[in-house]
Chain A
């Protein structure tokens, strides 16, 4: 009998101990964004596993998605009033992040993380005025350059070309490369944002400048202004010249790197975040572009000079993505402390070094370096160093409804040859006027 009682007691205790531990753990819902097919995914997962192991008092409930499904799911959460506790978010009006900023659904990280902690970041990354919320709703993990021209310089040299400095030189490549079955530039725009974010923002920055964009937002300039129509016309010209094939308008964002890495396109225009896609995935030892070819055969260059540009060399850039904390978490609660601990961990030099080594981004945290960087990751800061002036990324400053439905879709229409630059400009101005009327 005693033996039975003892066994029952042991059984009850065995059940109670983990239940008590579970009951004490603070649940923390974390919505995170990463491409599972990207190099560095395994290292990224190890980062979060370490956090879980080191913090048994936090029950980290991660939901990982990528590209539009992330924004759509987060949009549904926001609509349902079910905002996750910690969110990977954009510092701008990009998709799902727009409402997080506009409705002030995230906490101000400046007082929460503390001045001492934030002093470790480069100044532009912690500028609260750069975020639509007007405060630091998200802590940018990097400064993002959205237009990088990834060039296959070996392929160009094999066909008798040097890296282009002007658009005319780029256009001159079309017949020779086409004869070899190679397209000059690939810029897949099937998802609708890439053309605007990765090229057109730079074109507007060079042909019109940020001052004009500010005036448009204030209603003192119009999308029908000749300069904006000229910027759209330049995009139209790139399609008409065959520099970008119209078929790219039907390709998804994920199709570009494969075309570029396999030598079917001499250039890909993409954001700086994409360099990590080509380097070695340590979990498999495979790289889309082998390590020994990265610096010898490839280069990151600024987009060539555009006819009629007023601000030469300008490239669109914006505060990078990062983590934010839901404003719904009670102040001073265990959950808030858990969320802060998560951010302190993520932005620690150790974790940021791993992100740098896996090519995810060039951290905004000062002093993060490594001796184990692949050439592509080393080449990106050199690319940054060659940029003298930056300009707005349009989806970071324009109203999302106008930007998504009229600027982005309009660029697709031009690419497909369905509408003229003037038609797109007129429709965008009408949408902008409607939006201004509601303000």
Chain B
């Protein structure tokens, strides 16, 4: 008996000896910053040397209260929730469906599509962010294409109006038709559109109708600008689209790799028994991957709450903070203007708490509805 107890304590000592360096390293690298972060979030530390500098102390949960009252916190949280939702209900289902299509060889050139969809993952997110920012810019590709379409449309209408009027015959009716063709644009440019537009047109040389038509296209044509993307409720749409485009391929690879582990005979048997492709996917493949899906969902949630670089490079949380995420909000609190380190740490901890809640929900869902692998 004594030998057994001695043996156990020796065993425990051996375990501790082996584990302790890693535990200490873990505490130093992860545990210490977390503890410091908690302390700072309830402190009045405002920069400079932490030890031996200006005195600072614990003042309570003021910053958490400030956070709860700040509309920008809720706006950033809402944007983060959008990203979580597009990740879980966009990236995962799409990644799964694409993986299934390739796995079951329903689409041709599976390797090619796999490569194409995975491609964004091998490009730096900063490059991706800048690239999409240029594409969505008021002077970008989309604006250029849209403006050409708008210009073509109004140019056609203006030509028809002048043709019907028999050339440079500027009557009140012609002016009215031009105003109607412009939609709201004439009203935005002139205080009194019928009078001012007529006066404007009459300054042109009647022999140079083409110049007048060209200028009227500029003056009365709708200019497509992505300003609608700065509206609080839809500003996140391009960001969500880019996130979907960027990371769906990652989950495709994850699901495809795990689908390839499923015994092909099971699927063959299901097909012989009369199961359709949809039934094979939902009744055989999906339950077999439930554990992988949960892990992918956890990755999604962690990645979504962490997402910083892509959105920072693409919009920097702007314009006017409408695409700000919690991580950018935290970054700005710490490093922009007068730093507010307690607030930045309170935001950081709120991200951690939110992650834990979402992961717990995912686990519960898996426990309740998940299959057995």
Q: Contact residues of A with B, CB < 8 Å?
A: 68, 71-72, 75-76, 78-79, 81, 93, 95-96, 98-99, 102-103, 105, 174-176, 178-181, 189-192, 242, 245-251, 255, 399-401, 403-405, 409, 412-413, 416-418
Contact = CB atoms under 8 A, between A and B. Distances in A.
Contacts of A249: 227, 230, 319-320
9 tightest A-B contacts by CB? A75-B335, A400-B337, A247-B138, A179-B215, A412-B320, A247-B225, A179-B219, A404-B337, A400-B338
B46 to A, nearest CB: 8
Contact of B338 (A98, A192, A413): A98
11 contacts: A78-B47, A93-B338, A175-B190, A179-B215, A180-B218, A192-B319, A192-B320, A242-B189, A245-B225, A249-B227, A401-B338
Most A-side CB within 10 Å, residue of B48, B190, B321, B338: B338
A255 B139 contact: yes
A399 B340 CA distance: 13
Contacts of B336: 71-72, 75, 95, 404
A251 B218 contact: no
B18 to A, nearest CB: 34
A200 B227 CA distance: 21
Contact of B341 (A79, A179, A246): A79
Contacts of A103: 46-48, 54
A250 B335 contact: no
Given A72-B336, A99-B338, A178 B219 contact: yes
Contacts of A79: 47, 334-335, 339, 341
Contacts of B173: none
Contacts of A413: 320
A13 to B, nearest CB: 43
Contacts of B72: 405
Nearest to A100: B47
Contacts of A76: 335
B225 A246 contact: yes
B12 interface: no
Given A103-B54, A178-B219, A250 B341 contact: no
B63 to A, nearest CB: 12
A175 B200 contact: yes
B231 interface: yes
Contacts of B219: 175, 178-179
Contacts of A189: 319
A95 B189 contact: no
B201 to A, nearest CB: 10
B49 interface: yes
A81 B50 contact: yes
Contacts of B47: 78-79, 99, 103
B349 to A, nearest CB: 17
Contacts of B337: 93, 95, 98, 400-401, 403-405
Interface string B336-365: 111111000000000000000000000000
Contact of A174 (B138, B139, B189, B335): B189
Contacts of B190: 175
A178 B53 CA distance: 58
Contacts of A401: 337-338, 340
Contact of B216 (A68, A71, A179, A191): A179
A176 B337 CA distance: 41
A418 B316 contact: no
Interface in B122-144: 137-139
Contacts of B49: 81
A248 B223 CA distance: 13
Contact of B230 (A192, A245, A416): A416
B131 to A, nearest CB: 14
A250 B189 contact: no
Contacts of A179: 200, 215-216, 218-219
A99 B339 contact: yes
B11 interface: no
A178 B338 contact: no
Contacts of A191: 316, 318
A190 B231 CA distance: 14
B287 interface: no
A412 B319 contact: yes
Nearest to A328: B49
Contact of A180 (B50, B137, B215, B226): B215
Interface in B13-61: 46-50, 53-54
A187 to B, nearest CB: 13
Given A179-B218, A180-B215, A250 B48 contact: no
Listed residue (B196, B216, B218, B331) with the most chain A CB atoms within 10 angstroms of its CB: B218
Contact of A105 (B48, B137, B138): B48
A234 B53 CA distance: 46
Interface in B163-217: 188-190, 196, 200, 215-216
A251 B138 contact: yes
A15 to B, nearest CB: 36
B7 interface: no
A259 to B, nearest CB: 8
A76 B72 CA distance: 22
B232 interface: yes
A178 to B, nearest CB: 5
Contacts of B232: 418
A249 B215 CA distance: 25
A409 B196 CA distance: 35
B96 to A, nearest CB: 35
Interface in B296-321: 316, 318-321
Contacts of B188: 242
Nearest to A404: B337
A399 B46 CA distance: 14
A80 to B, nearest CB: 10
B54 A250 contact: no
A105 B215 CA distance: 58
A312 to B, nearest CB: 26
Contact of B320 (A95, A248, A409): A409
Nearest to A174: B189
Interface in B224-238: 225-227, 229-232
Interface in B104-119: none
A178 B218 contact: yes
A68 B337 CA distance: 11
Contacts of B341: 79
